[in-house]
Amino acid sequence: MLQEYKKYKEQILNRAKKIVIKVGSAVLTGANGLDPRVINRLADEISLLHDQGRDILLVSSGAVAAGCKVMTSCKVKECLAYKQAVSAIGQSRLMHAYDEAFARYNKITAQILLTKDDLKSRERFLNARNTLLNLLSWKVIPIINENDTVVVQELKFGDNDALAALVLNLVEADLFINLTSADGVYNSNPMKDKNAKLLPYIKDISKLDLEEICQGKTTQGTGGMYSKLLAARRAAQIGVPTLIVSGKVRFALERVFSGEELGTFIFPEEKSISRRKFWLAYNLDSRGEVLVDKGAVEAIVNQGKSLLPAGIVDVRGKFGKGALVKVIDAESGESLGVGLTNYKSSELKQIMGRKSSEIENILGQCAYSEAIHRDNFLLGAAL
């Protein structure tokens, strides 16, 4: 089996034409701020891949960390306003370092700063996509980060792992490499368990209990292995494999592409979801919850059907028609996925538990017989 996995991985790496590489602050910065050696090494390795005719997009953190090292005299470090301001200082330093490092290899880089709002709007999503594809056609290496200076909590992607997963969909990449400070994914937390083993392959990430593996470090937005695995799971859903590998190890990229076994390779799902479903599930914010009964769970999960009002037992939150909502199994409390609702919350409350043929009598008209159509529903959304 391992030989088979290895062969498959080699094929994917050899054929990859459009790669999103994400690098975290912990890799890029040392005690004195941005580590020029790491940036130079990255530029060297990425340029090599680029010379092989591959398109590369780099999602780079490090703006806040680099800015903090400049503003050492500032005392209040945790508040949002501080981070927004220091990111402005750090981002220009980060880009300057990348520009110089890549120029040594005759590569042109471009800075792209995005907010969640940009990718939520279909028009801006397409604008971002067109610009990125244009840059790639000019053989430029886009360097992407969240526009930290203008984001407030509600606009945040969560972290750059989540941002990188959205970029995969944005440009239709075929490989995701997440350069991190850990060696890869372990079967339990190596800081707590000395018998923890590195997993060289994850065949089916949807079956993995991420919370168990990450042992408590599950809060979104704090980074850590959980957010990397969540991003890898999203990538797998659109058919993109992920390699989680240490960016601290010297020449990791070069070694991996030469066939060395480093890090953890996560297989894509065999049946990928549509990019539209991916977009609605991960670019929009969910506005409420719809709890469903056993019959609805069976229809949605095992028969791939739409959700009818008859299967709804409770509606939580206030939302409008067309909002993204979570669908929850009322019995187990488990989330089944997310979808766009055909009715606003007040209407759903009136028609829940009722047959679709009764909708007209209750609401005065029956615009849709489904509460959520299966085309607008992503089962197993990785949230």
Q: Tell me how far CA of residue 313 lies from CA of 83, 291, 293, 354, in angstroms.
A: 43, 6, 6, 10
Q: Quick one: 87 or 237, whose CB is closer to ligand GLU?
A: 87
Q: Quick one: 231 or 281, whose CB is closer to ligand GLU?
A: 231
Q: Tell me how far CA of residue 355 lies from CA of 68, 290, 304, 313, 331, in angstroms.
A: 59, 17, 19, 13, 21
Closest CB 241 distance from ligand GLU, rounded Å: 21
3-class state of residue 290 by DSSP: strand
Structure tokens at 267: 């297989």
Q: Quick one: 159 or 174, whose CB is closer to ligand GLU?
A: 159
Closest CB 120 distance from ligand GLU, rounded Å: 18
Round to whole Å and give the CA distance between 282 and 277: 9
Q: Quick one: 143 or 299, whose CB is closer to ligand GLU?
A: 143
Q: Print the binding letters for residues 71-110 with ligand GLU: x by CB under 6 A, - otherwise.
A: ----------------x-----------------------
What is the number of alpha carbons within 13 Å of residue 162 lying toward its C-beta?
A: 25
Q: Quick one: 21 or 351, whose CB is closer to ligand GLU?
A: 21
Q: Print the binding letters for residues 130-149 with ligand GLU: x by CB under 6 A, - otherwise.
A: ---------------xx-x-
The number of residues that bind ligand GLU (CB under 6 A) is: 14
Q: Quick one: 160 or 283, whose CB is closer to ligand GLU?
A: 160
Closest CB 360 distance from ligand GLU, rounded Å: 49
Closest CB 209 distance from ligand GLU, rounded Å: 23
Helix, strand, coil in percent for the chain, rounding step 5: 45, 20, 35
Of 20, 24, 234, 307, the residue at the interface with ligand GLU (CB under 6 A) is: 24
3-class state of residue 343 by DSSP: coil
Amino acid letter, 187: N
Of 9, 19, 21, 25, the residue at the interface with ligand GLU (CB under 6 A) is: 25
Closest CB 383 distance from ligand GLU, rounded Å: 17
Of 55, 118, 159, 370, the residue at the interface with ligand GLU (CB under 6 A) is: 159
The gap from C-alpha 140 to its chain's centroid, in whole angstroms, comes to 23
Q: Quick one: 59 or 359, whose CB is closer to ligand GLU?
A: 59
Closest CB 378 distance from ligand GLU, rounded Å: 23
Q: Quick one: 92 or 369, whose CB is closer to ligand GLU?
A: 92
Q: Where does 58-195 have alpha helices with state H?
A: 63-70, 80-103, 116-120, 122-137, 160-171
Closest CB 223 distance from ligand GLU, rounded Å: 5
Work out whether 293 is an interface residue with ligand GLU (CB under 6 A): no
3-class state of residue 44 by DSSP: helix
CA nearest 292: which of 337, 248, 230, 228? 337
- Residue 227, burial from CB neighbour count under 10 angstroms (0-12, 13-18, 19+): buried
Of 47, 160, 286, 376, the residue at the interface with ligand GLU (CB under 6 A) is: 160
Work out whether 345 is an interface residue with ligand GLU (CB under 6 A): no
- Residue 383, burial from CB neighbour count under 10 angstroms (0-12, 13-18, 19+): middle
Round to whole Å and give the CA distance between 110 and 57: 10
Contact 176, 164 (CB under 8 A): yes
Which residues have C-beta within 8 Å of that of residue 53, sequence separation ≥ 6?
17
Q: Quick one: 221 or 304, whose CB is closer to ligand GLU?
A: 221
Round to whole Å and give the CA distance between 70 and 301: 52
Please list every residue from 49 through 78 that binds ligand GLU, using CB under 6 A: 61-65
- Site residues for ligand GLU per CB under 6 A: 24-25, 61-65, 87, 145-146, 148, 159-160, 223
